[in-house]
Structure 1
Amino acid sequence: MDMEDEGGPFTAHTNNTGTMLGLTRPGCGALLSVSAAPGRKHPCTVEALRLWDFWVGVNTATPTRLLRAAWEAGAMPELRGYASFRTEPRFEGGRLDAHLSGPAGELYVETKNVSMVEDCAAQFPDAPSERARKHLRELMRLARSGARAALFFAVQRPDGQCFMPAWTVDPEYASLFYEALDAGVEAWPYVVDVAGDGYRLGRRLPLMKA
């Protein structure tokens, strides 16, 4: 992503493959992290973009980190009773983001970053995504086999009052989302407060019914 500061123009890395609808405006502010890893073409990574008077997190690696931090801190009741947390468990054709196990049993979680709000509803995805549909189908398979399966939506902006899948962007995903809920997949949309000094897990949003 093209950036400019007092030192002049430069390019920052972004791992967000969505449209970031309404966020990438000329002159908007950005929060960047800097990596000291050798060999990186672009040492800066875009963490958040400024919209009006708040930050919107766009780093798609953040949700899994937040989920793990919430598990370690005991900050989410949904994650209690699990003694281990493993990232990127494999399934045929891909990976999910997290597998937890412990006295409560086994739990598979796919994490998603949410940066779009329309009509006060936080929505995902912001671009058609076959990959996201594939994850839904795998979670449905796990739920139907008796495992606990869930979606963790990190809503990295403060203005959403509820959550729903983005029918106008990816109607196939939206339909699959509600099919997944009927199959027993859980959905946990949480507001994430984004600031220059880090992230803080906020309230859980209600789901809009189909």
Structure 2
Amino acid sequence: MDYQPALRPARLVMRYKRFLADVVTPEGETLTLHCANTGAMTGCATPGDAVWYSTSDSLTRKYPHSWELTETRQGHWICVNTLRANTVVREALVSNIIPELSGYESLSAEVKYGAERSRIDFLLQAGTRRNCYIEVKSVTLLQQGKGYFPDAVTERGQKHLRELTKIAEAGDRAVLLFAVLHSGIEDVSPARHIDARYAELLVQARQSGVEVLCYKAQLSPAGIVLNTPLVVEL
């Protein structure tokens, strides 16, 4: 995924009201950015860090600028726009970069499924092969040198694990795909210290046949490419 038009740099002043962040540009102008990340963003929003933002040409947006990347003072790159996770995963699926998920004929997005009225991120289909349901989760939490998901209690994430478990038990492929969007993360574990129930459901899901995959992205202001498999430690 290439950033078009090019991202612009700024310095983070503060994030507030979950969806907003104030920054100062190199020219000294203060801007308010829209923040598409609803999570805790632990370690991703430290005042003074460098940020990179995009600008929409829509005339109806109240906040035309969007926070895309953080460059921390430790030298790590983080994609804080969680909407980008599905974009880079879709590109990886279409390009057959993820061998475990290659060879399908059709790809659909946001398909309704499950008893709890969920929408699966991607559904892969091909002839007589089993349908493949893929739920994507963006991983940006780095603590003590390890990557974790989630960064806050997620009832929605718990629901997705229940739905995937039922899909696997019914005989189709169910895949939880962690998209690592933090350059400092080298492996991923469930964040039991944050959401013990999610961690428990994840273990149960894998025991029931849910496939747990993890791929890391290369990040830069030029773009994002998902291409490196990582280990998930349960």
Q: TM-score, normalized by length of structure 2?
A: 0.85
| Whole-Å separation in 1 of the counterparts to 2:48 and 2:229 | 32
Q: C-alpha displacement at 1:169, in angstroms?
A: 0.8
Structural mapping, 1:1-210, within 5 Å: 1-5=21-25, 6-51=27-72, 52-91=74-113, 92-103=116-127, 104-209=129-234
Q: Distance in 2 between matches of 1:2 and 1:94?
A: 34
* Partner secondary structure for residue 71 of structure 1: helix
Query: Any conservation in 2 of the 1:120–1:162 contact (CA below 8 Å)?
Result: no
Backbone CA RMSD of aligned residues: 1.3
Q: Name the amino acid aligned to 2:231.
A: P
Residues 58 and 113 in structure 1, CA contact (< 8 A), matched pair in contact too: no
On the 8 A contact 1:13/1:46 being kept in 2, the answer is yes
Percent identity over paired residues: 35
The aligned length equals 209
Q: CA, structure 1 residues 63+131, in 2 after alignment: closer, same or farther (shift >3 Å)? A: same
Question: Displacement, 1:119?
Answer: 2.8
Contact 1:63 1:153 in 2 (8 A): no
CA–CA distance in structure 2, aligned partners of residues 31 and 184 of structure 1:
40
The amino acid of 1:93's aligned partner reads R
Cα-to-partner distance string for 1:45-103 (whole Å, 9 max, x where unaligned): 11111122121111111121111101111111022121111111112422121111114
Output the CA distance in 2 between the equivalents of 1:121 and 1:86. 33
Q: Is the 8 A contact 2:76 2:184 kept in 1?
A: no
How big is the shift at 1:7? 4.6
Contact 2:120/2:135 (<8 A) preserved: yes
Query: Normalised by the size of structure 1, how large is the TM-score?
Result: 0.94
**Is the 8 Å Cα contact of residues 123 and 165 (structure 1) preserved in structure 2?**
yes
Structure 2 gaps, min length 5: 1-20
Could you tell which deviates more after superposition, 121-130 or 30-39?
Answer: 30-39
